[in-house]
């Protein structure tokens, strides 16, 4: 079963629409407890956190033994065969990096923010 997490309830529906069977709002629910309830005490088979920020320790509490190994295999296979591809919320040029950062800090995005870097044709 696919379980997604988000800090804010306003992103829950977008995650359900994207295919999550369940969404845990971590600002309102205890993540490890909810995952254990949903998995009959076993914990998640794997976890994928592309940011690996301050919540990664809490996420680790929610996975079953061997979950990290399975996550690495899942990510490697998905990147190799193209089945794991990021969904882009907004794209900003490098000149607009401050706007991109403000957008990220607003937490309004539901998926990834991309910064594009133009390449100059002349060698300087």
What DSSP string runs through the chain? --EEEESSGGGHHHHHHTT-SEEEETTTS-HHHHHHHHTTTS-BS----SS--TTHHHHHHTBPTTHHHHHHHHHHHHHHHS---PPEEEEEEGGGHHHHHHHHHHT--SSEEEEE----SS--
42 has pLDDT over 80: yes
Residue 121's pLDDT band, with cuts at 50, 70 and 90, is low
Task: Record the tokens describing residue 78, joined without a space.
Answer: 């998905």
Each residue of 13-37: pLDDT tens digit? 989 998 999 999 999 999 999 999 9
Residue-range domain boundaries for the chain? 3-81, 86-124
Q: What is the mean pLDDT of the chain?
A: 89
Question: Contacts from 34-40 at CB under 8 Å and sequence distance 24+?
Answer: 35/3, 35/62, 35/63, 36/62, 38/1, 38/3, 39/1, 39/64
CATH fold for the domain made of 3-81: Rossmann fold (3.40.50)
């Amino acid at each position: 079963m696919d379980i997604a997490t988000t800090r804010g309830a306003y992103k829950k529906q977008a995650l359900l629409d994207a295919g999550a069977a369940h969404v845990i709002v971590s600002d309102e629910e205890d993540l490890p407890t909810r995952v254990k309830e949903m998995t009959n005490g076993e914990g998640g088979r794997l976890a994928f956190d592309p940011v690996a920020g301050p919540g990664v320790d809490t996420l680790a509490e929610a996975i079953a033994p061997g979950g990290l190994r399975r996550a690495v295999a899942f990510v490697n296979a998905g990147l190799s065969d193209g089945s794991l591809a990021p969904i882009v919320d907004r794209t900003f040029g490098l000149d607009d990096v401050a706007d991109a950062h403000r957008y990220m800090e607003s937490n309004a995005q539901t998926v990834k923010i991309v910064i594009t870097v133009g390449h100059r044709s002349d060698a300087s």
